Amino acid sequence: MEFFSESFKKDHFLRRVDARLKLLVGLALLAMVLGYRGFFFPLLLILLSLLMVMILQVPLRVFVMRLLEPLVIVAVILFLKLFSSGHLPLFSIDLFGLEIVAYREGLVEGLTIGSRIIGAVSVLTIMGFSTPFTDFLGSLSWLRMPKGFIEIMVLAYRYIFVLLDEGMVIYNAQKIRLGYSGFKRSFNSFGSLTGSLILRAFEHSQNTAMAMAQRGYDGYIPMTTEKPLKALELLGAIIFTATMGFLWTI
């Protein structure tokens, strides 16, 4: 639960900045990193993200855990590009009489794509560390995102933690009964755990829909009142975005 908790989101200067400005700056950085050709700008964003992690006093293991899944995707892309794209051989492997050649161009392309992925995920992660979820939803509403999309995000965020708690209860009960003492038993226990969570998610969805309908829910979710943007914060966001845009052109 520690990696999903907001207990490490302490009061700091970035959290006090208007969430709408952080969202706009984040979208601009995402556009820059995805459109950049090379390593410099994505690596710069990764280094800035590590610096922000230290400034925000977020445990480094939490930041690393958020990057584990993207790193797996990067490893797969790098492997595929390395052995399937390019013309200049880098090295070769003889596997059961089949020669597998790695190419220099494929390595460069894989690293370029991988740096973009990690850079983009780092930006989103810092936004998550510095912005409460309710403020993030208010920013999306300010940007006139579809109400159905915001509604789904609210319900998904609410029941992620409910299902996580229930999953931990089932897992601990299985573990006490030696449900993970062997490979076969572990596989069966994991299947039972997954099936139970699917059934409970379906049950929760029915109960929530019924409860909301009985309380007169009409599809409108009230958000925080939109306040005017502060001139100093707006100026800082413009200067920061312009600086990153200049570095993007290098």
To the nearest whole number, what is the mean pLDDT of the chain?
A: 85
pLDDT tier at 97, thresholds 50, 70, 90: confident
**pLDDT tens figures, 131-142:** 888 888 888 888
Q: Would the pLDDT of 218 be above 80?
A: no
Query: Could you tell me the CA-to-CA distances from 130 to 5, 42, 53 in Å, in that order?
Result: 13, 20, 10
Task: Provide the residue ranges of all domains of the chain, joining segments of one domain with +.
Answer: 2-131+227-249, 147-214
Query: Could you tell me the CA-to-CA distances from 222 to 39, 71, 96, 217 in Å, in that order?
Result: 43, 37, 63, 11
**Token duo for residue 99:** 């020669």
Compute the distance between CA of residue 48 and CA of residue 25 in angstroms, rounded to an integer.
14
**pLDDT tens figures, 16-55:** 888 899 999 999 999 999 889 888 999 999 999 999 888 8
pLDDT at 95: 75
User: Is pTM, for the whole model, over 0.95?
Assistant: no
Q: Would the pLDDT of 1 be above 50?
A: no
**Helix ranges, the chain (H):** 13-16, 19-35, 40-55, 60-84, 104-130, 133-142, 147-176, 183-214, 231-249
pLDDT at 2: 45
